């Protein structure tokens, strides 16, 4: 009897044995047989191997299936059905397949992302390369751990929509701040949206990035910025500011709206008038101004004041006042005041251009003057 016939006879005998140990031996024998020349089999032959191995594996314990998955994750010509079966098994088995197997296609990965556990999605997020379609699926179904893994993956291609969602999610989870902010492909306008909720170290990274952005890239980023901000979402509470609008309009008419007036309004706790006044001078929507003033470190306020060439005394008068919620500022605020004049004006002006995007995306706010420019305290217009 030939060696091949003897081998086949042995497999037939093993297949009839009911014991777990014999089935494990059968699985090993068939797997080893396939692994001798896995690239030489036709698709039909691979399908047969996969069906047999998969059928036996379903009856095996976790450690056996885990070993099989680790082995198959490295085989580029492994049977597709078998690989998909292992990829949808419990995570300890599926992980090597989901992270390393090149047999899985985008359709497989997207299907798994829509149905299986967050651990399965996290394993997918660590693949060497990911298409935009798979990235979108992970962002749609994944938790913040999955998004952090995806953001940290330099081989993942991310769509604009996916990155917008990630930035929105990052506002409420510090875990996402660094991996998202440090992505080289993150559009500059989305990076600047993160300024309001990230650490001082990441804020410094944002400022340094802004200083290096080419003007053409800057203009393109502003043009492609978010289009899904409706005017209602930004100005739904504008009735609250109706009287303040009338007052500020009158100040403008008599050329009395300037940095000194802003300090006066803030000191007297006339916050609605202050918000509208700063909105007019900085050419920003009121919601963004409120967000700037809610920053307890006053870093954002320093950027705006510096971009508008406000005197340091003006900035310090605003910064050293209690916040709009009545709470005291951070103890580090004195260092911010001391370093105010060291902020490059051109970098500050580039930065607030991104903060004006929300207003520009809605076609402007209540202030119809000039888009992309700031009315200066002396009545002139500073093109940022």
Query: Mean pLDDT across the chain, nearest whole number?
Result: 83
| Local confidence band at 10 (pLDDT 50, 70, 90 cut-offs) | low
For residue 335, being part of any structural domain is answered with yes
This prediction has a pTM of 0.77
Answer yes or no: is 136 within a domain: no
In this structure, is residue 378 part of a structural domain? Answer: yes
The residue ranking higher by pLDDT, 214 or 313, is 313
Percentage, residues of the chain above pLDDT 70 = 80
So what's the pLDDT on residue 295?
86
With CA atoms as reference, report the closest residue to 360 among 284, 248, 272. 284
Q: Is the pLDDT of residue 130 over 60?
A: yes
pLDDT tens per residue, range 85-101: 999 999 999 999 999 99
Summarised one tens digit per residue, pLDDT across range 270-292 is 999 999 999 999 988 898 999 99
Looking at the domain assignment, is residue 198 inside a domain?
Answer: no
pLDDT at 360: 45
Domain endpoint, select from 104, 119, 142 = 104
Token couple for 155: 């081989």
Q: Are residues 240 and 379 in the same domain?
A: yes
pLDDT bracket for residue 221 (50, 70, 90): low
Residue 44 placed within a domain: yes
pLDDT at 133 over 80: yes
Task: Tell me, yes or no, whether 30 lies in a domain.
Answer: yes
Identify which has the larger pLDDT, 360 or 37: 37
pLDDT band at 17 (very low <50, low <70, confident <90, very high): low
| 83, 104, 125 - which closes a domain | 104
For residue 63, the 8-state DSSP code is H
Residue 11: which domain range? 1-104
**Domain stops at, among 59, 75, 104:** 104
Q: Is residue 144 part of a domain?
A: no
How many structural domains is the chain composed of? Answer: 2
* 132 falls within a domain: no
Residue 130 sits at the vertex; the CA angle it makes with 124 and 131, to the nearest 5 degrees, is 130
Can you tell me the distance from the alpha carbon of 274 to that of 288, in angstroms, rounded to the nearest whole number?
Answer: 13
- Rounded CA gap, 303 and 9, in Å? 80
């Amino acid at each position: 009897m030939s060696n091949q016939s003897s081998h086949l006879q042995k497999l037939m005998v093993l297949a009839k044995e009911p014991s777990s140990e014999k089935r494990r031996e059968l699985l090993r024998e068939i797997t080893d047989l396939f692994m001798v020349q896995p690239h030489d089999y036709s698709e039909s032959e691979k399908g047969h191997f996969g069906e047999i191995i998969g059928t036996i594996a379903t009856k095996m314990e976790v450690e056996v299936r885990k070993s099989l998955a680790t082995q198959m994750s490295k085989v580029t010509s492994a049977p597709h059905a078998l690989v998909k079966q292992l990829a949808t098994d419990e995570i300890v088995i599926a992980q090597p397949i989901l992270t390393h197997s090149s047999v899985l296609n985008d359709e497989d990965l997207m299907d798994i992302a829509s149905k299986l556990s967050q651990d399965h999605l996290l394993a997918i997020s660590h693949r060497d390369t990911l298409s935009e379609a798979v990235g979108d699926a992970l962002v749609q179904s994944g938790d913040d751990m999955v998004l952090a893994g995806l953001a940290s993956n330099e081989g993942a291609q991310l769509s604009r929509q996916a990155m917008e969602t990630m930035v929105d999610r990052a506002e409420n989870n510090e875990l996402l701040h660094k991996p998202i902010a440090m992505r080289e492909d993150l559009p500059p306008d989305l990076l600047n949206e993160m300024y309001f909720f990230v650490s001082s170290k990441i804020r410094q990274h944002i400022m340094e990035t802004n200083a290096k952005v080419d003007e053409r890239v800057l203009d393109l980023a502003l043009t492609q910025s978010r289009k899904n901000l409706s005017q209602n979402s930004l100005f739904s509470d504008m009735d609250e500011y109706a009287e303040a609008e009338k007052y500020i309009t009158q100040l403008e008419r008599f050329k009395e709206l300037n940095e000194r007036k802003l300090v006066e309004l803030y000191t007297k706790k006339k916050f609605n008038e202050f918000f509208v006044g700063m909105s007019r001078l900085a050419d920003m929507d009121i919601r963004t101004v409120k967000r700037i003033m809610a920053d307890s470190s006053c870093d954002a306020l320093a950027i705006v004041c510096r971009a508008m060439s406000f005197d340091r005394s003006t900035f310090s008068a605003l910064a050293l006042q209690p916040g709009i919620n009545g709470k005291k500022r951070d103890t580090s605020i004195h260092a911010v005041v001391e370093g105010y004049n060291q902020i490059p004006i051109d970098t500050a002006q580039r930065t607030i251009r991104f903060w004006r995007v929300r207003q520009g995306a809605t076609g402007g706010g209540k202030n119809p003057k000039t888009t992309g420019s700031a009315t200066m305290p002396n009545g002139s217009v500073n093109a940022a």
